[in-house]
Amino acid sequence: MNDLIDFFVAPYTSATALDIALEIAAVVLGIFSVWYAKKENILVFPTGIISTSLYIYICFKFSLYGDVIINIYYTLMSLYGWYMWYRFIKGSTIKVSYATIKDMSNALIILVSTATFVVLVYFYFDRFDRLTDYFDTFTTAVFFAAMWLMANKKIEHWLFWIVGNLISIPLYFIKGLGFSGLQFIIFLILAVQGYFEWKKQLVK
């Protein structure tokens, strides 16, 4: 038990109180953001923007460049999603729907191009020196695609989040961001719940 506690606490021994507070704030706001997404509430975006903005600083300080890129993208896509969820199409707001072949093709293009870009960034910074870096490339690409699908209210975005969260849970503990690791456990639970809640809407 002590070994488990040491594994969780050790990375924070050199962190400042401000850094710890910022990570906790980012985690809490991130959880609220996913919970609002599950409820199809527009507040998913402002809470998400604040959370990802905090993570840009945190991840840069920990030299997690893939995570910096993904959180910059989250912030920008949250602004896009905020607009899309308010946009009127033929007199009604955008609705939850299944992704079309075109939607999934766009998601795949985003996934592949993102993975390629992140690989180039990691090579530029000579950062492929840890096993987690390779997984970062994949999770960043998966989350990019998920965020685009979510902004367009496609139910399949939850499946992308589920896959990414499953991989991210152990990754963040290994990276030394224990609070964020716990956050991804909660994200996974909310993503599963969110998928079934959106599914009920489509059945109706």
Listed by start position, the domains of the chain span 2-88+99-203
Averaged pLDDT, 142-166: 93
pLDDT tens sequence across 59-91 = 888 777 767 877 898 899 889 888 888 765 455
Residues across the chain: 204
pLDDT tens sequence across 89-117 = 455 667 889 999 999 999 999 999 988 98
Core vs surface per residue 44-68: b (16+ CB within 10 A) or e: bbbbbbbbbbbbbebbeebebbbbb
Phi, psi of 121 (to 5 degrees): -65, -45
Strand segments, DSSP code E, in the chain are 88-89, 92-93
Whole-prediction pTM: 0.80
Q: Where does the pLDDT of residue 149 fall: very low under 50, low under 70, confident under 90, or very high at 90 and above?
A: very high
